[in-house]
């Protein structure tokens, strides 16, 4: 495909502004937004003004069926991801959808299946994989400076105030709470760094005045390699700055991201005396993930964060709820195969 990818943006709330900026930064030889949609027409119009989109609507079906749209960018409440993505695939459109893939594993699988059947790309927006420090960490792991991963600690500490009446307060619409909604970013990152998760156990904290799903949680994971990881997440952190710790240890070295990315490695003399801060060039992760999606559409490649992969991350998040409910360790792969039983 040598023409630019023409995108229909569906859902013009908070995150869509970053997606629109990312598209604009790549330039209209590669990608452009030709249609915007939101049930709130003023938001759809505002995003059209920002991007130059000519078609504006409150009905997502009109975007999915639009002959000038090659791909949809879905920035909707989580419970709407599946319906819109499946309709888009059936109309032959490629799909870029915000995380998490869906609120249930069954719905996520239906999205994967619809995209496969229609031979369209399905990418889930796990933007943390496109952040410079995380890309560098992955490179350090792949080059062997850390040896074999043994232990990881990741945090997501944020003060998220969800206004009364907003969809994200509703556990069903969000597909859980903070773990499924934002913790899935960190789970995705850990899977990228370490591999598949064998076992999950979790504890959660609720504050019903702020949301129905858990507002904080701790998820312990053991990977198929034997490596261990802990995710701590809070959406009621009193310290307002958004903080995401990464501490990753292997048999030969470790990295952490406290005040910049630092490495210690026994395998390199200049990194073996103590932690050394690495120079990591900042990149716009939203632009980087959009560039990747556009490349995948134009070159027919599978996205790094494709639907199948996102479904495995979601299985880990859902396993943490099952663990909390039963008080037992839960295997995400088992949950996934149970959910897919009887589905096409
Ligand atoms: N990557 C990140 O860091 C990040 C951050 C925030 C949100 N997100 C994700 O982005 C997605 C959207 O979240 P948000 O924060 O932008 O939410 P939001 O509530 O700000 O925006 C959602 C928009 O969808 C519109 N909408 C609802 N139902 C609709 C329908 N049937 N048809 C058309 N429009 C409809 C709403 O009017 C709203 O403007 C979610 O998947 C969320 O998890 C990702």
- Residue 39 sits in a domain whose CATH number is 3.40.50.720
115 and 223 co-located in one domain = no
Q: Is the CB of 158 under 6 A from ligand 1?
A: no
205: which DSSP letter? E
172 and 321 co-located in one domain = yes
User: Which one, of 132, 125, 56, lies nearest residue 85 by Cα?
Assistant: 125
3-class DSSP state for residue 296? helix
For tokens 């819109």, name the residue: 84
229 and 109 co-located in one domain = no
Distance from the alpha carbon of residue 299 to the mean position of ligand 1, in angstroms: 28
Q: Do 291 and 301 form a contact (C-beta atoms < 8 A)?
A: no
Largest alpha-carbon pair distance within the chain?
61
Q: How many separate domains does the chain show?
A: 2
Q: Which atom of ligand 1 is nearest to the CA of 43?
A: 39
154 and 270 co-located in one domain = yes
Element (H, E) at 118: helix 105-118
Indicate whether 213 pLDDT > 70.
yes
Percentage of residues of the chain with pLDDT beyond 90: 96
Please work out, in degrees rounded to the nearest 5, the angle formed at the alpha carbon of residue 271 by the alpha carbons of 265 and 277.
Answer: 110
Indicate whether 76 pLDDT > 70.
yes
Q: Is the CB of 98 under 6 A from ligand 1?
A: yes
Distance from the alpha carbon of residue 16 to the mean position of ligand 1, in angstroms: 7
Q: How many CA atoms lie within 13 A of 278 on its CB side?
A: 21
Q: Is the CB of 39 under 6 A from ligand 1?
A: yes
Q: Is the CB of 215 under 6 A from ligand 1?
A: no
182 and 82 co-located in one domain = no
Distance from the alpha carbon of residue 160 to the mean position of ligand 1, in angstroms: 14
Q: Is the CB of 87 under 6 A from ligand 1?
A: no
Query: Does some domain include residue 310?
Result: no
- Extract the tokens encoding 85: 């993505």
Query: Does some domain include residue 342?
Result: no
Read off the pLDDT of residues 267-298 as tens digits, 9 standing for 90 and up.
Answer: 999 999 999 999 999 999 999 999 999 999 99
98 and 228 co-located in one domain = no
As beta bridge partners, residue 95 has 72, 122
Query: Does some domain include residue 341?
Result: no
Q: Do 316 and 200 form a contact (C-beta atoms < 8 A)?
A: yes
Read off the pLDDT of residues 217-274 as tens digits, 9 standing for 90 and up.
Answer: 999 999 999 999 999 999 999 987 778 999 999 999 999 999 999 999 999 999 999 9
Read off the pLDDT of residues 93-141 as tens digits, 9 standing for 90 and up.
Answer: 999 999 999 999 999 999 999 999 999 999 999 999 999 999 999 999 9
Quote the pLDDT of residue 341: 86
Range of the domain at 230: 129-283+316-325
Pocket test for ligand 1, best of 8, 10, 13, 40 (most atoms within 8 A of CB): 13
78 and 138 co-located in one domain = no
Read off the pLDDT of residues 19-74 as tens digits, 9 standing for 90 and up.
Answer: 999 999 999 999 999 999 999 999 999 999 999 999 999 999 999 999 999 999 99
22 and 49 co-located in one domain = yes
Closest C-alpha residue for ligand 1 atom 6: 15
Q: Do 51 and 315 form a contact (C-beta atoms < 8 A)?
A: no
pTM of the predicted structure, to 2 decimals: 0.97
24 and 85 co-located in one domain = yes
For the domain that residue 189 is a member of, what is the CATH number? 3.30.360.10
Read off the pLDDT of residues 305-341 as tens digits, 9 standing for 90 and up.
Answer: 999 999 999 999 999 999 999 999 999 999 999 988 8
Query: Does some domain include residue 332?
Result: no
Region 154-160 average pLDDT: 95
Query: Does some domain include residue 50?
Result: yes
259 and 134 co-located in one domain = yes
Number of neighbouring beta carbons within 10 Å of residue 2: 5
């Amino acid at each position: 495909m040598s023409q630019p990818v023409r995108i229909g943006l569906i859902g013009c709330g908070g995150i869509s502004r970053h997606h629109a900026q990312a598209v604009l930064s790549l330039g209209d030889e590669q990608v452009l937004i030709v249609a915007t949609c939101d049930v709130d027409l003023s938001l759809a119009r505002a995003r059209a003004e920002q991007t130059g989109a000519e078609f504006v609507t409150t009905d997502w079906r009109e975007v999915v069926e639009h002959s000038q749209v090659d791909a949809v960018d879905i920035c909707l409440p989580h419970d709407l991801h599946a319906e819109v993505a499946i309709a888009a695939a059936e109309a032959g459109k490629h799909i870029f959808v915000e995380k998490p893939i869906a609120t249930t594993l069954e719905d996520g699988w239906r999205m994967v299946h619809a995209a496969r059947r229609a031979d369209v790309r399905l990418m889930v927006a796990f933007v943390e994989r496109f952040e410079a420090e995380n890309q560098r960490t992955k490179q350090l792991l792949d080059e062997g400076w850390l040896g074999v991963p043994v232990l990881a600690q990741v945090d997501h500490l944020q003060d998220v105030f969800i206004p009364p009446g907003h969809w994200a307060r509703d556990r069903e619409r969000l597909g859980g709470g903070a773990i499924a909604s934002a913790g899935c970013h960190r789970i995705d990152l850990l899977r990228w760094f370490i591999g598949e998760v064998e076992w999950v156990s979790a504890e959660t904290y609720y504050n019903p005045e702020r949301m129905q799903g858990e507002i904080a949680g701790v998820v312990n994971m053991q990977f198929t390699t034997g490596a261990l990881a802990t995710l701590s997440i809070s959406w009621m952190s009193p310290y307002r700055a958004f903080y995401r710790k990464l501490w990753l240890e292997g048999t030969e070295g470790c990295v952490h991201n406290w005040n910049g990315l630092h490495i210690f490695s026994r395998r390199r003399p200049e990194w073996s005396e103590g932690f050394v801060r690495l120079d990591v060039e900042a990149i716009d992760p939203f632009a980087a993930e959009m560039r990747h999606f556009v490349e995948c559409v134009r070159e027919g490649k599978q996205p790094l964060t494709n639907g199948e992969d996102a479904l495995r991350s979601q299985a880990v998040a859902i396993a943490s709820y099952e663990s909390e409910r039963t008080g037992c360790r839960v295997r995400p792969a088992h949950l996934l195969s149970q959910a897919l039983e009887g589905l096409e």
